[in-house]
Chains A and B, each alone.
Chain A
């Protein structure tokens, strides 16, 4: 039974699942258990109705616990009904005895922790850092990756792509191809299309400021395939695609922002591009995941595209995105195999439009969350897991050291009659207290951490808004804190529980060093900590090196102080002269403003790599063979002033000029370096001619190359430039680029005001700085590097603290021995070296193991590395150097202390 499907309005609330499960465990299975569960459930519903859910949950828990305690004890009593004296022990008395013992243990634990606050503080904080980091990452992983997507049965949803076999790239699909996929496929239950949102922008007019928005124009089965209900009203239905009324479904964001979350919005209208549309529904906020920018959903039939899409000439134009739902029981592999045969059939049937075109199928979750995001979150959770292990080892070490000092106390207790179980219980209770304190501090850290992450990664990671600190996360934090707290305490407690009563009477003896096994264990723990720290450090080092490489990568232009804004002209400008008039006037007004150094425009600055699918014919070069892969290729339309605004260096020839804009000017283009390399390797391209998207003999004019400019990294900082050509021209939708020399905010506001005054129906939107946008393109990488770096630093500190602790302790314990050595003639340097070499031995062992581990794990990082080998020697050398240096520094103090031992004092010691 799944929630979501077929849920009726009158569904009664459920008590907490964990409590129900516990109740099931507490009672022997059978009819009685069922009737008791029924009573408690009925009471729960009554409490929910009469009081509140919180009260009801609290009471339910109390009842479950009381039933569990009674029945649990009853079961034990069945085994041994009488106590040692032959008298039966009442249940109540048993409970109170047990509670009394626990209370004593707890009191004792608190007292001894408060008595040595240093230990308690370090142990709690160490564990809390580990628990907090893990909890934060766990909550992220759950909210972003593990929780179901907001659609029905999302495992069966897929995105279908047109695969361009020649260019090894993929794109959406055309309506006709998508229709044929659906008609011919048996493995797909249904498919739905929606127009790529960048082609369906619109302006909200009427009532308030005009506002440029992104909308999703969807095919008839869109909402049915995704399977998500509307929050208010209804979704779009196939009948909405007939001519007649003009329905629209609002996004949650638009509904709240523009209509103040009006609960009676359904039935009202909204004006889009001067046309009143009927609001039929509002979607829940999470529904937007697939079309994150969309402010509203409209039938594709409302667009002028709709009629054109049905015509055969548009078969090769991939304007639509396609989502499909697999039939039950069909795997993605099976669907892929079937789609391959369909693609082959369509290639044969439509050789012109579908030449060298395949079909790719991708699980929807991979598309919306992104495998990189998912993988980096899993990787981070691995890294925080290592930190937790290190923290645990550290606490174990501390506890061992403390246990050695407390042997006396424990043997005294043993001598006074405490049995092993009591001693073990008491030692573990202390760890439990530490663990619980660590869990609460850790939760606080996790909350702060997750909040910071959310603020920081917004935009780089999807679905961050569903990352709450809910009961599941609290349980997780408690569980790992208790598990690792106890894990850290088990061995020390076990050792302590062997406390020999006789030892209490003997004074002195080997008090501090402890048994050989304990010492070996402590060394082992420190080596493990260091090796884990090395793994984290080298991972962080590799990422940092990549990050620095990306940051240092040559952008090819000056991205500082450039403002970028998009302007889409309304239909009234639907002529080349109209658009040209507007943009010339707009740029003239912008250039006249104070604090503006240069201004121009480009068709789409951050153009998607998917659009780089043009092909050219170069004069004097043989045509490319059909099976020869074509390089990706882009064409940009620019208004002169663009190169100056972006400060793109001119390498050869000339830039585009104002006169190139005139309709009767000769056709010229400026190309970038990559394009020059791809088509005229080793030759000077200036003066050469080419035809765009056409055969050499086609009736299109030749374009002459007049200049070569530097490559620009304008989509992502970590992706090389795409070969592209710039031509002078003006279209009805362009990105205006402005280099600002004065105050940026003032310039932004002035430009906005100027453009609105020029044309109120075309508000500039998406106003941003280029630097901001490029920074966002590597936000995930930045975040990953920072987080892994912080974790590695924490690991290093913890590991080094472990080494310090051991060295310090051994120096204290060996004071007498050192004194003796010095009395017998050992020099200070010998002693210093003796102590240091011990520490460095541990470091070397940890380093060796850690390096082996990181070489093995380095490959998993390779997808995140940028021009960096997972075996980068510099990184590993640095890690080695850092570890040895930090270890040495940490051990200098105890080593110096050893070297300063006065032989006389040492010999008198004890």
Chain B
């Protein structure tokens, strides 16, 4: 009955069907590109990472225009994989008309995943350093 299928961003392995829903925690998950960017933004922003600032950071650093829908669904997924954690910042109630602000931080597991992705990139780049040089002619 249960089938293993790959989520649309090749992010994690889900069991779909009646028994298990959600990530299987023991399987290490390779990060998708967008997930990686979101995690990095959160890490860069430190204590001040929430919806509005994450979008700004992505735009500033990666030059990427991000739809809110994509951002929030990705944050939800990262959370369910245990890569980020959040807490409510009570300081910003007025300009939000009393609505809570969720500030995200990268969890230990998230840091491990980022390191793994970085290592993969480093391995892949090994020997290709020449490509990084600007052409000089």
Interface residues of A (CB under 8 A from B): 12, 31-32, 34-43, 45-46, 63, 65-71, 74, 81-82, 86-88, 90-92
Q: Is the Cβ of B95 less than 8 Å from the Cβ of A36? A: no
A42-B95, A45-B95, A70-B72 known; A36+B67 contact, CB < 8 A: no
Q: Nearest chain-A residue to B7 (Cβ)?
A: A88
Q: Contacts A43-B52, A82-B5, A90-B8 given: A38-B101 contact, CB under 8 Å?
A: yes
For the complex, is B70 an interface residue (Cβ under 8 Å from A)?
A: yes
Indicate the member of A12, A39, A74, A86 with the most B CB atoms within 10 Å.
A39
Decide if B72 touches A36 in the complex (CB within 8 Å): yes
Instruction: Give complex CA distance A88, B3 in Å.
Output: 11
10 contacts between A and B (CB under 8 A): A32-B102, A38-B92, A40-B51, A40-B68, A41-B95, A42-B96, A42-B101, A45-B95, A87-B5, A88-B7
B132 within 8 A of A: no
Contact across chains for A34 and B99 when beta carbons are under 8 A apart? yes
Tell me which residues from 28 to 72 in chain B have a Cβ below 8 Å from any Cβ of chain A.
50-52, 67-70, 72
Interface pair B5/A67, CB less than 8 Å apart: no
B97 within 8 A of A: yes
**Is A71 in contact with B69, judged by CB distance below 8 angstroms?**
yes
Is B6 among interface residues, defined by CB-CB distance under 8 A? Answer: yes
| Chain A residues whose C-beta falls within 8 Å of the C-beta of B100 in the assembled complex | 31, 34-35, 38
Tell me the bound Cα distance from A39 to B50 in angstroms. Answer: 8
Q: Which residues of B have CB within 8 Å of A67?
A: 68-69, 72
Proximity bits, B67-90, A CB within 8 Å = 1, else 0: 111101100100000000000100
Residue B16 interfacial (CB < 8 Å): yes
Q: Which residues of B contact A87 (CB under 8 A)?
A: 5
Which residues from B are CB-within-8-Å of A86?
A: 3
Q: Identify which of B3, B6, B73 contacts A74 (C-beta below 8 A).
A: B73
Cβ of B5 and Cβ of A39 under 8 Å apart?
no
Instruction: Point out the residues of chain B lying under 8 angstroms from A45, CB to CB.
Output: 95
Our pick among B6, B72, B96 for the contact of A41 (Cβ within 8 Å) is B96
| Closest residue of A by beta carbon distance from B97 | A41
For B6, the closest partner residue in chain A by CB is A88
Give the complex CA separation of A396 and B43 in angstroms: 60
On chain A, the residues within 8 Å of B5 by CB distance are 81-82, 87-88
In the assembly, what is the distance between CA of A36 and CA of B100, in Å? 9
A12 touches B97 (CB 8 A): yes
The verdict on A66 contacting B102 (CB below 8 Å), with A39-B52, A42-B92 known, is no
Would you call B101 and A70 a contact (CB within 8 A)? Answer: no
Q: 7 nearest interchain CB pairs? A: A70-B69, A38-B99, A39-B51, A66-B69, A90-B8, A66-B67, A35-B102
CB distance from B103 to the nearest CB of A (A): 10
Q: Name the A residues within 8 Å of B69 (CB-CB).
A: 63, 65-71
CA distance A86 to B5 in the complex (A): 9
How far is it, in angstroms, between the C-alpha of A12 and the C-alpha of B16 when the chains are bound? Answer: 45
Contact between A39 and B6, CB atoms less than 8 A apart: no
The CA of A91 and the CA of B5, in the complex, are separated in Å by 15
Pairwise interchain contact B51-A36, C-beta atoms closer than 8 A = yes
Q: B73 and A70: CB pair below 8 A?
A: yes
With both chains docked as a complex, state the minimum distance between the C-beta of A22 and any C-beta of chain B, in angstroms: 13
Q: In the complex, A92 Cα to B69 Cα: how many Å?
A: 12
Chain B min CB distance to A83 (Å): 11
Complex-state Cα separation, A721 to B92, whole angstroms: 71
**Which residue of the partner chain B has the closest CB to A46?**
B52
**Smallest CB separation, B68 vs chain A (Å):** 4
A69-B69 Cα distance, complex, nearest whole Å = 7
Measured CA separation A65–B70 after assembly (Å): 11
CA distance A35 to B102 in the complex (A): 6
Q: Is the CB of A32 within 8 A of B76?
A: yes
**How far is B68's CA from A37's CA once the two chains are assembled, in angstroms?**
11
Cβ–Cβ < 8 Å partners of B99 in chain A: 34-35, 37-38, 41
User: A38 CA to B96 CA in the complex, in Å?
Assistant: 5
| Assembled-state Cα–Cα distance A12/B94 (Å) | 9
CA distance A92 to B7 in the complex (A): 12
Against A, the Cβ 8 Å flags (1 = close, 0 = not) of B1-27 are: 001011110000000100000000000
User: How far, in angstroms, from A71 to B68 measured CA to CA in the complex?
Assistant: 11
Distance between Cα atoms of A70 and B50 in the complex (Å): 19
| Further pairs besides A35-B51, A88-B16: 14, Cβ < 8 Å | A31-B100, A34-B99, A34-B100, A41-B95, A43-B51, A67-B69, A68-B69, A71-B73, A81-B16, A82-B3, A82-B5, A82-B16, A88-B6, A88-B8
**Shortest distance between the CB of A336 and any CB in chain B (Å):** 43
Instruction: Provide the residues of chain B in CB contact with A37, threshold 8 Å.
Output: 99
Q: Which residues does chain A contribute within 8 Å of B97, judged by CB atoms?
A: 12, 38, 41
The residue in B70, B96, B100, B102 that gathers the most chain A C-beta atoms within 10 A of its C-beta is B96
Q: Please, how many angstroms separate the alpha-carbon atoms of A86 and B92 in the complex?
A: 46
Residues on A with beta carbons closer than 8 Å to the beta carbon of B102: 32, 35
Shortest A394–chain B CB gap in Å is 42
Given known pairs A12-B95, A37-B99, A41-B96, the reply for A66 and B52 (CB within 8 Å) is no
Which residue of B is nearest A12, CB measured?
Answer: B95
A231 to B68, CA, bound (A): 41
Please measure, in the bound complex, the distance between the C-alpha atom of A70 and the C-alpha atom of B34, giving whole angstroms.
15
Closest to B51 in A: A39
Cα separation A32 to B101 with both chains bound (whole Å): 9
Chain A min CB distance to B40 (Å): 19
Residue of B nearest to A59 (CB): B68
For residue A42, which residues in chain B have a CB less than 8 angstroms away from its CB?
52, 92, 95-96, 101
Q: Which residue of A lies closest to B68 (CB)?
A: A63
- Quote the shortest CB–CB distance from B74 to chain A (angstroms): 9
Q: How far is the CA of A525 from the CA of B95 in the complex (A)?
A: 55
CB distance from A728 to the nearest CB of B (A): 72
Task: Tell me the nearest residue of chain A to B93, going by C-beta.
Answer: A38
Query: How many Å lie between the Cα of A71 and that of B72 in the bound state?
Result: 9
A74 CB contacts on chain B under 8 angstroms:
73
Contact with A along B107-122 (1 / 0, CB 8 A): 0000000000000000
CA distance A42 to B70 in the complex (A): 18
Task: Enumerate chain A residues within 8 angstroms of B72, measured Cβ to Cβ.
Answer: 32, 36, 67, 70-71
CB distance from B24 to the nearest CB of A (A): 16
Indicate whether A66 sits within 8 Å of B70 (C-beta atoms), given known contacts A35-B51, A88-B6: yes
**B16 neighbours in A (Cβ, 8 Å):** 81-82, 88
Q: How far is the CA of A71 from the CA of B88 in the complex (A)?
A: 22
Give Cα A259–Cα B5 distance, bound, in whole angstroms: 77
A285 to chain B, nearest CB (A): 31
- Alpha-carbon distance A37/B102, docked complex (angstroms): 11
Q: How far is the CA of A74 from the CA of B8 in the complex (A)?
A: 12
A87–B3 Cα gap in the complex (Å)?
A: 11
Tell me whether B101 and A39 are in contact (CB under 8 A).
yes
Nearest CB of A to B115, in Å: 28
The CA of A12 and the CA of B7, in the complex, are separated in Å by 42
Q: How far is the CB of A324 from chain B (nearest CB, A)?
A: 37
Closest to B77 in A: A74
Min C-beta distance of A98 to chain B, whole Å: 15
Rounded to whole Å, the gap between the CB of A32 and the closest CB of chain B is: 7
CB A451 to nearest CB in B, in angstroms, measures: 38
Q: Give every chain B residue within 8 A of A88 (Cβ-Cβ).
A: 5-8, 16
Q: Using Cβ atoms and an 8 Å threshold, which residues of chain B touch A90?
A: 8
Q: How far is the CA of A375 from the CA of B42 in the complex (A)?
A: 62
Question: In the complex where A36-B51, A67-B72 touch, is A91 in contact with B8 (Cβ < 8 A)?
Answer: yes
What separation, in Å, do the CA atoms of A174 and B95 have in the docked complex?
Answer: 53
Question: How far does the alpha carbon of A69 sit from the alpha carbon of B70 in the complex, in Å?
Answer: 9
Bound CA–CA A99/B99 (angstroms): 34
Residues of B within 8 A of A41 (CB): 95-97, 99
Instruction: Report the separation of the CA atoms of residues A63 and B52 in the bound assembly, to the nearest whole angstrom.
Output: 11
Contacts of A31 in B (CB 8 A): 100
| Bound: A77/B62 CA distance, A | 30
